[in-house]
Chain A
Amino acid sequence: MNAKGKVFKYGDNVDTDVIIPARYLNIADPKELSAHAMEDIDTEFVNKVQPGDVIVATKNFGCGSSREHAPLVIKENGVSCVIASSFARIFYRNAINIGLPILECEAAANGIDAGDEVAVDFDTGVIQNITKGETYQAAAFPPFIQSIIKAGGLLKSLKERGE
């Protein structure tokens, strides 16, 4: 599995309230909800984002609430991957569970700038910065998590196991 796209770059502690403000959490439809993605931190995000684009941030991405709406609106907007130095733990679980690829990689988070074009190989964890000609290595997922991703999310993997 691979991804390739332009980068939207953010800093430390991007919280779930700016990814999708709670005032919209009465909206059930993912499409309608995703129109408000990143609204409180980057009003241009939803207008500029193209399918395949990548979000890169530094530490503690997705901190705050447990709302699964957060990775969901990112995925709905066509983002192929989120790369960060570190993720808040609930966001990390949620992203895996709904099938939004995420990678922890400090070097990539520091080396990549807004607008860079990057290519990601999920099998190897290799992140290529095409614009800068740099390569970064993210840690691979443990086999258990890989099996969830391969199945297409947690519930599908449980079904496959016959739960």
Chain B
Amino acid sequence: MGMTMTQKILAHHAGLESVSAGQLIEANVDLTLANDITGPVAIREMEKAGFKTVFDNTKIALVMDHFVPNKDIKSAEQCLECREFSKKHQIVNFFDVGEMGIEHALLPEKGLVAAGELIIGADSHTCTYGALGAFSTGVGSTDLAAGMATGKAWFKVPSAIKFELKGKLQPDVSGKDVILHIIGKIGVDGALYRSMEFAGEGVAALSMDDRFTICNMAIEAGAKNGIFPVDEKTMKYMNGRVNRTLNIASADADAAYDETYVIDLNTLRPTIACPHLPENTKTIDELERIEINQSVIGSCTNGRIEDMRVAAAILKDRHVAKGVRTIVIPATQSIYLQCIEEGLAKIFIQAGAVLSTPTCGPCLGGYMGILAHGEKTVATTNRNFVGRMGHVTSEIYLASPAVAAASAVAGYICAPEAL
């Protein structure tokens, strides 16, 4: 029996000819990632266990992105711990304020993750790099400590669900709508312990930024990873960023899948996940009128340049509705700079939005857009759990950048076509 794309990457990194679903393996990792929240826990665990050295100082990424520029003394102390560790172990890929970006936008941009590679990160959205045809998955701080010390991680080889994409997205419909539609269909544990493998002729029409968004939210369906086949667009994206020899994987023709879903991209509508689970989806046509207090455009899910361009195109020559606090957060310094160079920054500010330095801030209720009791936000982020962005009675509606921008203008959740 053939292997899925994920299984091939796992087999290769475990030094095995083949693997099958359910098998426990130990695999070599190409990169480990931690941030200012999970990094300090991993560092302490590693030191407590008596590991004195890291396995490879070029294969460890530490990105200060969650609570930076530091929101308070405690978060400053956490960054200090990461900074000192990086200095001591000469960690090459330590990204501090001024160089940092939101980790899952930053690592692909810097060419630190690539097709066929195996990446573990102490952040659940590490699954984002599947867009490049990599196997990447979130782990906890102890797993990460073990990875930093030994360069290895254990895995149970997952089975997979195949998503056969066909057709092409309509205007104002994006990767975010694709993944919200899928999560609405299969549920927040619909892919639990399994891979989500995307395939079919519809892949070619999806931009890299769409693919990053789709893989980013694989975890919201409980998946171990999401992964796209490598095509011309992937190679073009990696060109100039990645200079390593690649072992590109593809699924065998006779690979087994637990289930196959056919997704017709033509028929998808702007999709919203209502409180308090990403699976509570409605199309914009089914959604009642929801007045909002805030609109957040950014995060590891939707803070890339395409997202910024889409939002700016809608906000151009318009103004956000009175009472809608609109927060735009480009995910990396280079995206931020692009926003300035392309004139998007001016559009955002003239429209009455604020433009923030890269940070995860509001997405996880850290800072930079916290909600008071009973307030409602539309957000291009990835989770709408109880209390995620502030008070336990506040509500988060997850949507695409197009919907978040249009809603900011209208004052209620709507698609651009309603403006």
Question: Which A residues are closer than 8 A to B by beta carbons?
Answer: 13, 15, 17-18, 21-23, 25-28, 40-41, 59-60, 63-69, 71, 86, 88-90, 93-94, 97-98, 142, 144, 153-156, 158-159, 163
Chain A positions within 8 Å of B72 at CB level: 26
B387 → chain A closest CB, angstroms = 4
Binding-face segment, B186-194, B230-238, B341-349: B186-194
Chain A positions within 8 Å of B222 at CB level: 60, 63, 88-89
The answer for the CA separation of A68 and B51 in the assembled complex, in Å, is 19
Q: A40-B392, A144-B24 are in contact. Are A66 and B387 (CB under 8 A)?
A: no
Let me know if A89 and B364 touch, CB within 8 A.
Answer: no
Q: A18-B386, A40-B392 are in contact. Are A28 and B124 (CB under 8 A)?
A: no
Let me know if A158 and B146 touch, CB within 8 A.
Answer: yes
Chain B positions within 8 Å of A71 at CB level: 140
22 contacts between A and B (CB under 8 A): A22-B364, A26-B74, A27-B74, A28-B77, A66-B121, A66-B122, A66-B124, A68-B38, A68-B140, A68-B142, A86-B192, A88-B222, A90-B138, A93-B139, A94-B139, A97-B142, A98-B140, A142-B24, A153-B142, A155-B51, A155-B149, A156-B49
A59 → chain B closest CB, angstroms = 6
A61 nearest in chain B by CB position: B189
Let me know if A60 and B188 touch, CB within 8 A.
Answer: yes
Let me know if B385 and A66 touch, CB within 8 A.
Answer: no
Chain A positions within 8 Å of B387 at CB level: 17-18, 21, 40
Chain B positions within 8 Å of A154 at CB level: 142-143, 146
List which B52-93 residues lie within 8 A (CB) of chain A: 66-67, 71-72, 74-75, 77-78
Let me know if A98 and B150 touch, CB within 8 A.
Answer: no
Chain A positions within 8 Å of B149 at CB level: 155, 158, 163
Let me know if A64 and B143 touch, CB within 8 A.
Answer: no
Let me know if B146 and A89 touch, CB within 8 A.
Answer: no
The answer for the CA separation of A25 and B122 in the assembled complex, in Å, is 14
Q: Specify which of B124, B140, B188 is in contact with A13 (CB 8 Å cutoff).
A: B188
The answer for the CA separation of A63 and B385 in the assembled complex, in Å, is 10
Let me know if A159 and B189 touch, CB within 8 A.
Answer: no
Chain B positions within 8 Å of A97 at CB level: 140, 142-143
The answer for the CA separation of A5 and B74 in the assembled complex, in Å, is 35
The answer for the CA separation of A13 and B383 in the assembled complex, in Å, is 13
Q: A18-B386, A59-B189, A65-B124 are in contact. List 17 more A-B contacts (CB 8 A).
A: A22-B365, A25-B67, A26-B67, A26-B71, A28-B40, A63-B222, A64-B383, A65-B364, A66-B123, A66-B138, A66-B139, A71-B140, A90-B140, A94-B142, A98-B140, A144-B154, A155-B48
Chain B positions within 8 Å of A98 at CB level: 140, 142
The answer for the CA separation of A154 and B155 in the assembled complex, in Å, is 13
Q: A63-B188, A88-B189, A159-B49 are in contact. Are A69 and B41 (CB under 8 A)?
A: yes
The answer for the CA separation of A159 and B193 in the assembled complex, in Å, is 27
Q: A88-B192, A144-B154 are in contact. Are A23 and B366 (CB under 8 A)?
A: yes
